[in-house]
Structure 1
Amino acid sequence: MNPLLLPLVAAQAAYVHRTIGKEPRPEGPTNGFVPGPAAGATENRPETMRLLVIGDSSASGRGAPTHDLAFAGSMARAIAARTARPVQWRAMGKYGATSEKIRHGILTEVRGEWDLAVLLVGVNDILARRSTTAWATDLTAIVEALQQHAAHTVVPGIPEFDAFPSLPRTLRRYLAERGAALDTAARLVCAGRTSVQWVSSAELGPAEPSFFAADGFHASPAGYERWARAITDHLDL
């Protein structure tokens, strides 16, 4: 981007920061269970899949009234529908969290073993103007730690900012450029790790207005459902 436009970008970013993120926190438990189809005798029922969703405000469910209608619950239902397995899920997210804050905060609270961990992160790193090097360093540490807890880890690509209705055009362009740079680094971090998969946000396709919550920034329940389904469709389950 032309450096002369950076002051405008900074002003637009400050305005957006003051006006977005007003969606209330979702109510209800941060964990749940999606039953699989009835399978007769207990010994013939499929094994329950354990799903952990960890990350920023998307993991914390901003934009949805409950966690069940946010990303974690939506992902659990998508997995259950595809695999015919029951899914036990948990959401661990924090509004405004960068990869650094997740690494040194939320990640330290992860316990137990999981079949699948989904890491939602990157947007706040861009908004905080963190360097690609810092992003890659923290992301590597997070992924390596999750590999100790989860059989499979998924890192979805950063959402395409061009579709965000709450963002001014110049700011969208700047954030999209930064997002592409961080996505490139994320692909390199995930490459070569047999239990880690990066999934491009381009798999979502064009985002319709119904994808977004009222603030035009976070996903709505319909958006979370579509996002989770798109990721699930590209997993090796």
Structure 2
Amino acid sequence: MNPLLLPLVAAQAAYVHRTIGKEPRPDGPTKGFVPGPEAGDGAGALRLLVIGDSSASGRGAPTHDLAFAGSMARAIGKRTERPVEWRALGKYGATSERIRHGILTKVTGEWDLAVLLVGVNDILARRPVEAWTRDLTAIVETLEQHAAHTVLPGIPEFGAFPSLPRTLRRYLAERGKALDEAARLVCAGRTSVQWVSSADLGPAEPSFFAADGFHASPAGYERWAQAITDHLDL
């Protein structure tokens, strides 16, 4: 991007920061259970962990059950025909650094699948690719110790975000490509870790977004979770 446009990018970013994030936090528990086809008691349930930023924390949905974690649990349950126990660990505004040194320390036990939602805030914070790579590698390596399979969805395509001005969208898209490529390389060669490109998720129509035009709506979370499930190597 032309360096002369960076002051405009900074001003637009400051405006967006003041106007987004007004969606209330979801109510209800941060963990749940989706029965299998025969509505069993949980024996043999697949254990799902969703960890990351405000998407993992369910911003834009009234409950976690209608946010990403609950939507992913239902999609996984339908595909595997197994009951699913799920838990969401997310923090609004969390970068990979905050996840690594904060949220990740709360991960305990064994999980069948961990979904890591991260990257948007690293881009908004203009974190260097080197710092992103270092923190992301540490997160992935820790999740490998707790989960049989870890999936890292690619960073959403900023061009679709209705809340972002055009110049800011272009800048964030350029930064997103650089961080996405680094994330793909972090996951490459790890047999239990999978990176899923956001390009595989298809275009996002207005109904994908919550009222703030930045976070996903319940319909958006459902579509996002289903698209990731469709691409999982399970």
What TM-score comes out, normalization by structure 1 length? 0.97
For residues 165 and 124 of structure 1, what CA distance do their matches in structure 2 show? 17
Q: Deviations over 1:99-131 (max 9, x none)?
A: 000000000010100000000000000000000
Q: How far off is 1:38 after superposition? A: 1.0
1:56 equivalenced with 2:53 (yes/no): yes
Amino acid at match of 2:17: H
1:223 equivalenced with 2:223 (yes/no): no
For residues 194 and 50 of structure 1, what CA distance do their matches in structure 2 show? 19
Match of 1:99 in 2: 96
For residues 113 and 60 of structure 2, what CA distance do their matches in structure 1 show? 23
Unaligned regions of 5+ residues in structure 2, if any? none
Q: 1:56 and 1:39, CA in 2 relative to 1: closer, same or farther beyond 3 A? A: closer
Match of 2:119 in 1: 122
Match of 1:79 in 2: 76
Question: 2:74 aligns to what SS in structure 1?
Answer: helix
Q: How far off is 1:9 after superposition? A: 0.2
1:172 equivalenced with 2:144 (yes/no): no
For residues 147 and 39 of structure 1, what CA distance do their matches in structure 2 show? 30
CA contact (8 A) 2:39 2:83 kept: no
Amino acid at match of 1:18: R
1:47 equivalenced with 2:44 (yes/no): yes
Identity %: 87
Q: How far off is 1:39 after superposition? A: 7.6
CA contact (8 A) 1:46 1:84 kept: no
Q: How far off is 1:177 after superposition? A: 0.4
Question: 2:38 aligns to what SS in structure 1?
Answer: coil
For residues 107 and 73 of structure 1, what CA distance do their matches in structure 2 show? 20
CA contact (8 A) 1:46 1:85 kept: no
Question: 1:130 aligns to what SS in structure 2?
Answer: coil
Question: 2:176 aligns to what SS in structure 1?
Answer: helix
Unaligned regions of 5+ residues in structure 1, if any? none
1:148 equivalenced with 2:145 (yes/no): yes
Question: 1:15 aligns to what SS in structure 2?
Answer: helix
Match of 1:7 in 2: 7
For residues 130 and 199 of structure 2, what CA distance do their matches in structure 1 show? 23
Equivalent residue pairs, number: 234
For residues 201 and 186 of structure 2, what CA distance do their matches in structure 1 show? 22
Question: 1:28 aligns to what SS in structure 2?
Answer: coil
Amino acid at match of 1:86: P
Q: 1:39 and 1:17, CA in 2 relative to 1: closer, same or farther beyond 3 A? A: closer
RMSD across aligned positions (CA)? 1.2
For residues 30 and 39 of structure 1, what CA distance do their matches in structure 2 show? 21
Question: 2:88 aligns to what SS in structure 1?
Answer: strand
Q: How far off is 1:203 after superposition? A: 1.3
CA contact (8 A) 1:154 1:198 kept: yes
Q: How far off is 1:47 after superposition? A: 2.2
- Runs of 4+ aligned residues of structure 1 deviating over 2 Å after TM superposition are none
Match of 1:206 in 2: 203
Match of 2:25 in 1: 25
1:190 equivalenced with 2:184 (yes/no): no
CA contact (8 A) 1:157 1:199 kept: yes
